[in-house]
Structure 1
Amino acid sequence: MSLLPVEEAQARLLALTEMLPTEQTPLADCVGRWTTANVMALRDQPFADLSAMDGYAVAAGAGPWRVTQESAAGGPLPPPLVSGEAARIFTGAPVPPGADSILIQENATRVEDYVSQSAGDPLLPGLHVRRRGSDFTEGDMLLSPKSLLGPAQLGLAALGGHGALPVRRKPRVSIIATGNELVAPGAPIPLGKIPSSNTVMLSALLQTLACDVEDLGIVADNLDAMTAAFDRARHADVIVSTGGASVGDHDLVRPAFEAAGGTLDFWKIRMRPGKPLIAGKLGETAFLGLPGNPVSAYVTATLFVLPLIRHLLGNPQVLPFISSAPLANPLGSAGDRDEYLRARLTREGAVALTAQDSAATKALAQADCLIVRKAHSPAAMPGETVSIIPL
């Protein structure tokens, strides 16, 4: 089986699945998801003419005015004022009919029931008044379909009268770590064993998206054990395994996946690190078998797992954002696979880190971007522009 170009592999992976169904979801659980329909305002905001300052609501002009009432936020709508009257008013309170300006309290002098302007420019109609519907009115479109819901968007929806929004169901992701050499993080580490880091790393990476992650634990390099793990994960929308994806005697993920009834779509990508990537379907569940080396797992998750989750959630931009930066240190020519080099952005540009081995996790922790180099790219010198993926 020839190596598949990264772009073709990404397209084939996304074609394996449909976006998840829409559900009405409470606002508090919508963050990081995308709307599937127009979100329309159910009310005017502000609901009435409101004061933007503490002071006195008056008819624009010269005073003094007689204070006849008070208006506070959350109170009843005030009765109208007649000529020469004023209302003591507070920020966010409704402006009484008959008033069109706010005399702020710093510019006001009050003597018993009368108030006059003692400082400031002459009052003009509309001064310090937030007009009804000046933000939006009932029936306005607040959010279009495929809008990413962050704090500001959720606040807007709440002000618009909504308690829930139409978004796609959260994907369920099951993670399987494979390898006889693995022990749980924090457990005693016998000679010849290593802590399992990929599940922790991938779970944290997936937390950047709205999905539910299930850790199915460490599975030994045993065909029956791996097949049983796939059976336990059938309820998920996506299964992600790490390790056992290559061609060694103990690399059993692919045969176990097929023994469980899975159908392989592609295997092996023209990239470094991350060549032995497996993708397919187990019933309606998408499967991605990532390499076991942590850097390879991280890079392939960035290029394949995260795009798949974005696709299921209805994100219109599923692939990693690719930017550009000047190169800060020289690079040799690329090999016969696309390269994803750990790097850091500095004032001088992108600095490729020295350690690029797929097991060098310290360099991964130090990186804040990947330099993307196409196969057979010539050597590059400082100052040349390179493509980067921010991490």
Structure 2
Amino acid sequence: MPPEVRELKDALGRHMLAPAYADLSQPPFDASSMDGYALGSMATVGARYDLRVGEASAGHRFDGTLSPHEAVRIFTGAPVPNGVARVVLQEDVTLQDGQILIGDTLDLGPHIRPCGQDFVKGQSFAPKWLSANDLALLAAMNVPKITLAQRPKVAIIATGDELVMPGERPNSDQIIASNIFALKALVEAAGATARILPIARDTAADLQAVLELALTADVIVTIGGASVGDHDLVKTVAEEMGLDRAFYKIAMRPGKPLMAGRIQGRTLLGFPGNPVSAIVCAHLFLVPLLRAMQGDQSPTPKPKFALLAHDQPQNGPRAHYMRATITHEGATAIAHIAADQDSALLSVLTGANALVIAPSNGPALPPNSLVPYLSL
């Protein structure tokens, strides 16, 4: 995606394309980390210091220079005056006739944050996906604007006469369109924008009309209609509209009838209609695609590893991404694979926090076998 320069307030969850550099050091001066008294020498129990008139507070510097026997009131965040050796906590001193007396609770100090303790002027901030904490750091660096990848625009199309939107009353032979909302959320979490288009009914004319509405997007995602049934029209209609297909069907479950290609300069992903299949395909294909489009050099999810809580039967010829719950016993991750892996069961997916990966033709595994998984 082309670059754009945006203000920090618009950058959460976006991918930064170019490094940023600190315009100043933080803190920009030696600063007090406590409320107390700045001393002109290192203190000892019972020592007395003459208290100077004035104070140093956040945003207000004390302009004088302390001699070794002098002290001045200071507050957290204030610039440390010239000549200061340390800050002593206010509860560790007693005021007596214009002097402070160091008490026997004196600590080691010095309670001074040195200039540049957090970062120094010119220090770089490398490109990455930006979190709320990153925005605070960039703001502290006095970087008001940054270079980001433009947000990819994604059009999401559910297909099928059997679907109605939430809030509508389905007929006895209809169901609610659900997975479009999961896909929209995943798209937006990946830094892109998502638009849910009208449900495309099971006619070539209706599907073509909705696909034409989607051609303003960078990525088009269809859900359902990608298999080989009489009412599965996505492949045929998309090809009539100029689809250059990259692949069709993939050796994985759930998600075998997956299609990908380019249509009139846009990327098209055709997902299966079963809710779990569509959502798993989005995690594995759509999200990495969007991350790559925004400049991420490592866009694919990275497997972690866990020990099986139970035995697992031999896998078939397709890689299986199984809904599972990962728990921890100390530092050890334990994988509990759901018993029912039906790709229509959203409740099982909602109860899972991972996908355990069984490779194609993988062997049967006993408990405590090490297995790869992807976090959800």
TM bucket (normalised to shorter chain) is: over 0.9
After superposition, the Cα gap between the structure-2 partners of 1:76 and 1:67, relative to the gap in structure 1 and judged at 3 Å, is closer
Residue 187 of structure 1 corresponds to 168
Residue 139 of structure 1 corresponds to 122
Query: Residue deviations 1:320-375, cap 9 Å, x none?
Result: 22111111222221111111111122458212212112212221122211111111
Which of 235, 249, 256 is the matching residue for 1:254? Answer: 235
Residue 66 of structure 2 corresponds to 81
Does residue 130 of the first structure (1) align with residue 113 of the second (2)? yes
Amino acid at match of 1:74: G
Cα shift at 1:79 = 3.1
Structure 1: stretches of 5+ with no match in the other structure: 1-19
Which of 213, 224, 238 is the matching residue for 1:232? Answer: 213
Structure 2: stretches of 5+ with no match in the other structure: none
Amino acid at match of 1:237: D
Measured in 2, the distance between the counterparts of 1:194 and 1:368 equals 26
Residue 300 of structure 1 corresponds to 281
Residues 100, 129 of structure 1: 8 Å contact kept = no
After superposition, the Cα gap between the structure-2 partners of 1:123 and 1:343, relative to the gap in structure 1 and judged at 3 Å, is closer
Measured in 1, the distance between the counterparts of 2:219 and 2:137 equals 32
Residue 224 of structure 2 corresponds to 243
Count of matched residue positions in the alignment of Structure 1 and Structure 2: 368
Does residue 380 of the first structure (1) align with residue 372 of the second (2)? no
Residue 201 of structure 1 corresponds to 182
Query: Residue deviations 1:77-112, cap 9 Å, x none?
Result: 533334533221110011111222112101111135
Cα shift at 1:187 = 1.2
Cα shift at 1:204 = 2.2
SS at 2:298 equivalent:
coil
For the aligned residue pairs, the C-alpha RMSD in angstroms reads 1.8
Cα shift at 1:48 = 1.2
Query: Residue deviations 1:227-280, cap 9 Å, x none?
Result: 121211112111111000001111111122223333211111011111111111
Which of 52, 72, 75 is the matching residue for 1:90? Answer: 75
Residue 56 of structure 2 corresponds to 71
Does residue 364 of the first structure (1) align with residue 349 of the second (2)? yes
Query: Residue deviations 1:21-80, cap 9 Å, x none?
Result: 221121122222332222111011111111110011121144322222111102245333
* Stretch deviating more after TM superposition (22-31 or 47-56): 22-31
* Stretch deviating more after TM superposition (170-179 or 360-369): 360-369
Amino acid at match of 2:121: E
Measured in 1, the distance between the counterparts of 2:41 and 2:310 equals 66
SS at 1:233 equivalent:
helix
Measured in 2, the distance between the counterparts of 1:75 and 1:160 equals 21
Measured in 2, the distance between the counterparts of 1:123 and 1:302 equals 53
TM normalised by structure 2 equals: 0.93
Identity of aligned residues (%): 39
* Stretch deviating more after TM superposition (74-83 or 155-164): 74-83
Residue 16 of structure 1 corresponds to none
Measured in 2, the distance between the counterparts of 1:115 and 1:219 equals 81
Which of 54, 57, 60 is the matching residue for 2:38? Answer: 57
Amino acid at match of 1:329: H
Residues 218, 266 of structure 2: 8 Å contact kept = yes
Residue 302 of structure 2 corresponds to 321
Residues 225, 272 of structure 2: 8 Å contact kept = yes
Residue 25 of structure 1 corresponds to 6
Amino acid at match of 1:306: V
